[in-house]
């Protein structure tokens, strides 16, 4: 075997600048790789931190919901039959109350009902005094800013209650007859009758003493009698003037009587008609003609009347408002139509009626504090109940065929 040739090395000497640049390139490459690894680690840490934050929020909400489920909830309510009211046994009943009991049973919630006025219920949801509010709460944009609402469970709207009163009722006639305008017309007529009778008596008393003679009282009474029977076209004919002046006055009086009695008839008819028109309400467009409209304090009915600058009288609850209408102290009540129908059917059927008109459509819902952890679970249970057959039984129980 031959010997391997000895290796030979050829080193190409490079300038110092070339070596320096190569060294810098290596340093840059090493630095860039280190930075990339550090950035990857920081990104991973950031994602882990964000995930842990979300997990903490979920656990916080879950623990809050568990805490609410484990304690007794304070549920506010108010009188708003047939949605919430105290029965004869002192227990709360109604459409909203029955629905809430079913929801609480589904979610295994313990609760206690506490009664409060409307404004206290809304404020209490904000300051923590109430965990839930159940009654006939109308969902509005203004209320949505301070509380949360569940899904709606019953459609509603404003209605108008008016007295049961026909155009020819005795009360309407008496109000018209005793009006200032009618009394003035009647007084003027009596004064003209007396003036005509007096003039006839002065002309006839000396030359016709048999019919217009006697004392002043007797003579004036006779003349007044003849003027009255002439005006009413009865004309008994038992008293007749014999002098020329008396007959001229009698003829003038006959024609004047026709004009005056026609005017009186027109005045009576006009007074009765105007009175009836003022009291007639068939739609919201007729409300501006009224001067005494009842509503419930803090309700959407009050908001409607105030926004349109209509005169109204607020009452603490719907029962007192409708009672004022039944007593004749107010002319109409503007409030939630389902509640007005229920009250009228139960207690005021003979004196109050509700117009078959619903305006300002609205919905009823359960009220909750803002960002309540119960909202989602309450909504799920609510939708399950209002879509079931049992819900129709609940509505029929309280509303009958008017549901």
DSSP string, 323-342: HHHHTTS-SEEEEEHHHHHH
Residue ranges of the chain with per-residue pLDDT less than 50: 1-31, 57-58, 60-67, 167-168, 236, 275-278
DSSP string, 332-378: EEEEEHHHHHHHHHHH-TTTEEE-S--EEEEEEEEEE-TT-TTHHHH
CATH number of 162-166+283-360: 3.40.190.10
Q: What pLDDT is stored for residue 231 in this prediction?
A: 64
Domain boundaries, the chain: 162-166+283-360, 170-279
Neighbours of 289 (CB within 10 A): 12
Q: Does residue 339 contact residue 82 with C-beta atoms inside 8 Å?
A: yes
Q: What pLDDT is stored for residue 240 in this prediction?
A: 61
Q: What pLDDT is stored for residue 259 in this prediction?
A: 73
Do the strands 110-115 and 72-77 form a parallel or antiparallel pair, or are they unpaired?
parallel
Topology adopted by domain 170-279: Helix Hairpins (1.10.287)
Q: Is 268 left (phi over 0), alpha (psi -120 to 50) or beta?
A: alpha
Q: Is 271 left (phi over 0), alpha (psi -120 to 50) or beta?
A: alpha
Q: What pLDDT is stored for residue 215 in this prediction?
A: 74
Tens-place pLDDT, residues 46-68: 566 666 655 554 454 444 444 45
Q: What pLDDT is stored for residue 399 in this prediction?
A: 86
Short-list 367, 376, 385, CA closest to 135: 367
Q: Which two tokens stand for residue 8?
A: 């030979």
**Extended strands (E) in 68-151:** 72-77, 85-86, 92-93, 110-115, 132-138, 148-149
Indicate if 170-279 has the same CATH topology as 162-166+283-360. no
Q: Is 298 left (phi over 0), alpha (psi -120 to 50) or beta?
A: left
Q: What pLDDT is stored for residue 42 in this prediction?
A: 62
Q: What pLDDT is stored for residue 6 in this prediction?
A: 47
Q: What pLDDT is stored for residue 90 in this prediction?
A: 92
């Amino acid at each position: 075997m031959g010997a391997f040739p000895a290796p030979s090395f050829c080193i190409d000497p490079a300038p110092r600048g070339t070596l320096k640049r190569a060294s810098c390139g290596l340093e840059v490459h090493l630095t860039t790789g280190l930075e990339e690894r550090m950035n990857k680690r920081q990104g991973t840490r950031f994602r882990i931190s964000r995930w842990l934050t979300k997990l903490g929020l979920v656990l916080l909400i879950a623990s809050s919901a568990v805490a609410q489920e484990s304690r007794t909830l304070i549920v506010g309510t108010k009188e708003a039959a047939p949605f919430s009211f105290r029965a004869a046994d002192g227990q709360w009943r109604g459409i909203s109350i029955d629905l809430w009991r079913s929801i609480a049973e589904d979610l295994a919630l313990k609760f206690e009902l506490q009664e409060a006025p409307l404004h206290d219920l809304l404020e209490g949801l904000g300051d923590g005094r109430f965990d839930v509010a159940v009654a006939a709460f109308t969902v509005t944009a203004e209320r949505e800013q301070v509380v949360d609402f569940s899904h709606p469970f019953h459609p509603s709207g404003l209605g108008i209650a008016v007295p049961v009163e026909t155009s020819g009722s005795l009360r309407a006639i008496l109000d018209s007859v005793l009006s200032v305008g009618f009394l003035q017309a009647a007084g003027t007529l009596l004064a003209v009758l007396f003036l005509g009778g007096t003039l006839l008596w002065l002309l006839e008393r000396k030359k016709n003493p048999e019919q217009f003679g006697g004392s002043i009282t007797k003579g004036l009474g006779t003349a007044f009698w003849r003027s009255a029977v002439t005006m009413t076209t009865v004309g008994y004919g038992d008293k007749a003037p014999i002098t020329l002046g008396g007959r001229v006055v009698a003829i003038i009086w006959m024609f004047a009587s026709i004009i005056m009695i026609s005017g009186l008839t027109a005045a009576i008819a006009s007074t009765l008609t105007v009175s009836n028109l003022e009291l007639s309400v068939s739609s919201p467009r007729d409300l501006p003609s009224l001067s005494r409209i009842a509503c419930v304090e803090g309700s959407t009915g009050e908001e409607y009347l105030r926004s349109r600058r209509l005169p109204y009288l607020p009452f603490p609850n719907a029962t007192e408002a409708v009672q004022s209408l039944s007593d004749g102290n107010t002319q109409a009540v503007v409030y939630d139509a389902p509640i007005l129908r229920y009250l009228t059917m139960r207690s005021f059927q003979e004196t109050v009626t509700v117009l078959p008109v619903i305006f300002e459509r609205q919905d009823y819902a359960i009220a909750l504090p803002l960002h309540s952890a119960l909202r989602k679970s309450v909504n799920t249970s609510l939708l399950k109940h209002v879509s079931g057959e049992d819900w129709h039984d609940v509505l029929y129980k309280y509303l009958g065929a008017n549901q």
